[in-house]
Amino acid sequence: MDIKKIANICQTKFEEKGIDKVAVTVIETSKTELQTEYEEIGLFRDTKSISIDFRIIHESKQANKSFTFSSIEGIDSQVEETIMMAEGAQADEAHSMASNIKSDNKYGLEEADLDKMYSLLKDFLVEKKEKYPEIKDTTNIVFDKVRYISTNNQGVEHQFSNGFYSIVTIYTAVNGNKSSSMNYQFAATTELPERVLDFNNMEEHYQETIEQIEQREFTEKLVCDVILAPDVVGSQLYSIYSEIAGLNLINKTSLFMDKVGEKIISDKISIKATPNNPKLAMKDSIGTEGYIMEEGDIIKDGVLSTLFVNDYVANKTGLTPTRISANICEIASGDTSLEDMIKSIKKGILINRISSGAPNKNKDFAGVVKNSYYIEDGKIQYPIKEVMITANIIEMLNNVEAVSKETLNSGASIVPWIKCSNVNIAGK
Amino acid sequence: MDIKRLIKHLDCYGEIREQKNIVSALGLSNGALVSNSKSLNQGFSARAYKGKEWGFSSTSIMNEEEAKRAIEKAQSNASYLQRMSGNSDLLLPSRITTLEKDLRTTKNLKSIKEKIEFIEDINNRIKTKYPELASVMLYLSEDEAHKEVATVDGSYFKTIIPRTHLRVMMMLNNDGQMLSEGDVFGGLGNFEDLFTSPDELEARIEEAYSHLVNKKSAIFAKAGEHEVILGPDLAGILAHEAIGHTTEADLVRNGSITANLMNERIASDMVNLIDVPHTYNGKLCPRPVFVDDEGVEPVTANIIENGILKSYMHNKESAQIYGVQPTGNARASQYSDEPIIRMRNTMIVPGTSKLDDMIKTVKDGYYLMLPSNGQADSTSEFMFGVSRGYEIKNGKLGNAIKETTISGVAVELLKTVTDISDDLKWLGSGMCGKKQSIPVGMGGPAIKCSVNIGGK
By the CB < 8 Å criterion, does A223 face chain B? no
Contact B377 A177 (CB under 8 A): no
Q: What's the pLDDT score for residue A426?
A: 87
Q: Which of B66, B318, B336 to mutate to test the interface with A (most CBs of A within 10 A)?
A: B336
Name the residue among B347, B371, B358, B361 with its Cα closest to residue B421: B358
The stretch A245-263 carries a mean pLDDT of 93
Q: Which of B223, B338, B375 sits opposite A355 (nearest CB)?
A: B375
* pLDDT given at position A149: 98
How far apart are the C-alpha atoms of A418 and A227, rounded to whole Å?
Answer: 6
Other C-beta atoms lying within 10 Å of the C-beta of residue B190:
20
- Is the pLDDT assigned to residue A357 strictly greater than 90? no
* Nearest residue, CB atoms, B336 vs list A49, A64, A114: A49
Residue A319 DSSP label: P
Per-state percent for chain A, helix, strand, coil, to nearest 5: 25, 45, 30
A49 to chain B, closest Cα gap in Å: 5
Integer-rounded Cα radius of gyration of chain A: 24
Contacts of B384 in chain A (CB under 8 A): 357
* Percent of chain B at pLDDT exceeding 90: 91
The Cα-based distances of A90 to A54, A97, A220, B122 in angstroms read: 18, 17, 57, 16
* Nearest CB neighbour to B377, from listed A31, A48, A370: A370
DSSP A333: P
DSSP per residue over B234-291, as a string? HHHHIIIIIIIGGGBHHHHHTT-GGGG-TTSB-S-TT--EEEESSEETTEE-SS--SS
For residue A79, which residues of chain B lie inside 8 Å, CB to CB? Answer: none
CA B47 to chain A, closest CA, distance in angstroms equals: 9
In chain B, residues with a C-beta closer than 8 Å to the C-beta of A390 are 223, 454-456
Q: Which of residues 260-299 of A touch B (CB under 8 A)?
A: none
The answer to whether A285 touches A275, Cβ cutoff 8 Å, is: yes
CA angle B337–B62–A30, rounded 5-degree value: 45
Q: Say if residue B456's pLDDT is above 60.
A: no
CB A228 within 8 A of CB A240: no
Cβ atoms within 10 Å of B102's Cβ, excluding its own: 11
Highest mean pLDDT among A177-191, A364-378, B134-148: B134-148
pLDDT digits (tens, 9 = 90+) for A178-225: 899 999 999 999 999 999 999 999 999 999 999 999 999 888 889 999
Out of B178, B386, B408, name the one closest to residue A361 (CB): B178
The answer to whether residue B140 scores a pLDDT higher than 90 is: yes
Residue B322: pLDDT over 80: yes
| Candidates B38, B135, B253; nearest CB to A85 | B38
Indicate the pLDDT class of residue B334, thresholds 50, 70 and 90. Answer: very high
* Closest C-alpha to A209, from A167, A178, A166, A177: A178
Q: Does A370 touch chain B if contact means CB atoms closer than 8 Å?
A: yes
Distance between B116 CA and the closest CA of chain A, angstroms: 7
Predicted confidence at residue A384, as pLDDT, reads 94
Give the angle subtended at the CA of A198 by the CAs of A195 and A204, to the nearest 5°: 135
CA distance A372 to A212: 8
pTM higher than 0.80? yes
Contacts 24+ apart (CB under 8 A), B368-373: B368/B228, B368/B229, B368/B230, B368/B231, B368/B234, B368/B406, B368/B451, B369/B231, B369/B233, B369/B234, B370/B231, B370/B233, B370/B234, B371/B233, B371/B234, B371/B237, B372/A357, B372/A358, B372/B403, B373/A357, B373/A358
**CA B43/CA B146 separation, integer angstroms:** 11
- Better-scored residue on pLDDT, B373 or B83: B83
Integer CA distances (angstroms), B328 to A141, B196, B333, in order = 28, 35, 15
Residues of chain A with Cβ-Cβ distance to B133 below 8 Å are none
A174, A390, A428 ranked by CB distance to B255: nearest? A174
Helices of type H across B130-237: 191-194, 199-215, 232-237
Q: What is the largest CA-CA distance in chain B?
A: 71
Mutate to test the interface with B, among A388, A392, A395 (most CBs of B within 10 A): A388
CB contact (8 A) between residue B32 and residue A92: yes
Answer whether B171 sits within 8 Å of A90, measured CB to CB. Answer: no
pLDDT confidence of residue A359:
85
With a cut of 70, say whether residue A143 has pLDDT above it.
yes
Q: What is the pLDDT of residues A8-42, one digit of tens each?
A: 999 999 999 999 999 999 999 999 999 998 889 99
pLDDT at B218 over 70: yes
Q: How far is B455 from chain A (nearest CA, A)?
A: 7
- Tell me what pLDDT residue B18 has: 98
For residues A397 and A241, is the Cβ–Cβ distance under 8 A?
Answer: no
From the CA of A336, how many Å to the nearest CA of chain B? 32
A174 interfacial to chain B (CB closer than 8 Å): yes
Whether pLDDT at B448 is above 60: yes
**Beta-ladder partners of A178:** A175
Per-residue pLDDT at B151 exceeds 70: yes
**Per the CB < 8 Å rule, is A361 touching B179?**
yes
In this structure, the number of other CB atoms found within 10 A of the CB of residue A219 comes to 10
What is the C-alpha to C-alpha distance for residues B274 and B301, in angstroms, rounded to an integer?
6
pLDDT for res B455: 60
**H/E segment holding residue B391:** strand B381-393
Minimal Cα–Cα distance from A340 to chain B, Å? 31
**Average pLDDT score over chain B:** 95
Closest partner residue to B135 among A181, A253, A424, by Cβ?
A253
Return the pLDDT at B90.
85
Contact A51 B41 (CB under 8 A): yes
Per-residue burial over A136-163, b = 16 or more CB atoms within 10 Å of its CB, e = otherwise: bbbbbbbbbbbbbbbbbbbebbbbbbbb
Q: Which pLDDT score is estimated for A386?
A: 80
From B234's Cα to the closest Cα of chain A, the distance in A is 13
Q: Is B397's pLDDT higher than 70? A: yes
Interface test with A, best of B368, B407, B450, B452 (most A CBs within 10 A): B407
CA separation for the pair B185, B356 (Å, rounded): 24
Kindly report the length of chain A: 428
- Please, which pLDDT band fits residue B428 given cuts at 50, 70 and 90? confident
Residues of B in contact with A360 (CB under 8 A): 180, 402-403
Q: What is the DSSP letter of A410?
A: -
Q: Which residue of B has its CA nearest to A87?
A: B113
Distance from CA of B349 to the nearest CA of A (A): 26
Instruction: Answer yes or no: do A386 and B56 touch at CB < 8 A.
Output: no
Yes or no, beta carbons of B377 and A42 under 8 Å apart: no
A367 touches chain B (CB under 8 A): yes
CB contact under 8 A, B112 and A88: yes
Average pLDDT of the residues in B209-214: 98
| Chain A interface, best mutation among B18, B21, B33, by max A CB count within 10 A | B33
- Shortest Cα–Cα distance, A408 to chain B (Å): 23
User: Which residue among B338, B379, B385 places its CB closest to the CB of A43?
Assistant: B338
- Minimal CA separation from B106 to chain A, in Å: 21
Scanning every residue of chain A, which has its alpha carbon at the shortest distance from the alpha carbon of B388? A360
Q: Which of residues 83-142 of A touch B (CB under 8 A)?
A: 84-90, 92, 114, 118, 122, 136-138
Predicted ipTM? 0.94
The rounded distance, in Å, linking the Cα atoms of A410 and A400 is: 22
Residue-level pLDDT at B167: 97
Q: What is the pLDDT of residue B224?
A: 86
Q: CA separation (Å) from A278 to A147, A161, A297, A321?
A: 18, 14, 17, 26
pLDDT at B99 over 70: yes
Q: Supply the Cα-derived Rg of chain B in whole angstroms.
A: 24
Mean pLDDT of B344-361: 97
